[in-house]
Structure 1
């Protein structure tokens, strides 16, 4: 990803625009109208990753693997959810600021980042009617999707309780 000189809040506000579908001839940050793009493989193969992306995603995966049992058991406190959301936000900021992928892989990663940000909003309690624990599940599911579409040697899917 190209370095972005925005605060994390500004970056999160921009994410819905970045995941909109662009025509094939458009640059990957086109902000034109269109339906949200769905993630896809690179001509049947997983997308390339770089060290920054792998480090950031491994860190988020570890956070989820540690938080999932407590969230599932209803034992994660409000302060615990807040700390978890802040930790994930900092890892997302690291990925956005440090990752350098080719434009097509970058566009696919923006879809994953947008899904992660949505899960973080749920963890923060910003999704009316959704339990904060569902954010932990959503982020975990997004990480499993990442592993299916990005070439991350040694990646392990997160086992979800149900």
Structure 2
């Protein structure tokens, strides 16, 4: 198994465990591209990056119970996408990292952006939960690639 296939398998398993309702794991995993970086490197963060990622994590985590219960309508998805987009813009504007770490961050933010496009129905894909899965996967990758003290992945809820 090559590294790209292994990453897709890991993402598919993580998404399956996340319990987000209505997600086609194969479709999300096939589209997901993990950031290219050395496996053992954990990049330094800065306060703006940490705050923005904590805010994104919080808004996603707060939304999950209603998403899983199919109680999340179009207006909720649009608001979720806008809230995440605002935080991503804050990170881009205020975060100052070394060039190599910045490149990894931009890969992660591209995945967040892909998730936002799906959540807000800017893409042809009509399963907004796929967008939530992209964002959860990006948050999990953030924790793997950046040295953010106390960062924990979003809790899996059966």
Q: TM-score, normalised by structure 2?
A: 0.74
Q: Show CA shifts across 1:41-63 (max 9, x none).
A: 3x722011000000000000001
Shift of 1:143: 0.2
- Structure 1 Cα separation of the partners of residues 35 and 46 of structure 2: 22
Looking at structure 1, the residues matched to 138 and 126 of structure 2 have their Cα atoms a distance apart, in angstroms, of 17
> Which residue matches 1:63?
59
Question: Does residue 45 of the first structure (1) align with residue 41 of the second (2)?
Answer: yes
> Greater helix share, 1 or 2?
2
Q: Gapped runs of 5+ residues in structure 2? A: 1-32
Of 95, 116, 121, 1:120 maps to 116
TM-score by length of 1: 0.72
Number of residue pairs matched by the alignment: 126
**C-alpha distance in 1 between matches for 2:93 and 2:80:** 20
Cα 1:160–1:134 change in 2 (3 A) is farther
State whether residues 71 and 136 of structure 1, in contact with CA within 8 Å, keep that contact through their aligned partners in structure 2.
Answer: no
The list of structure 1 runs, each at least 4 consecutive aligned residues, that deviate by more than 3 angstroms after superposition, is none
Structure 1 or 2, whichever has the larger Rg, is: 1
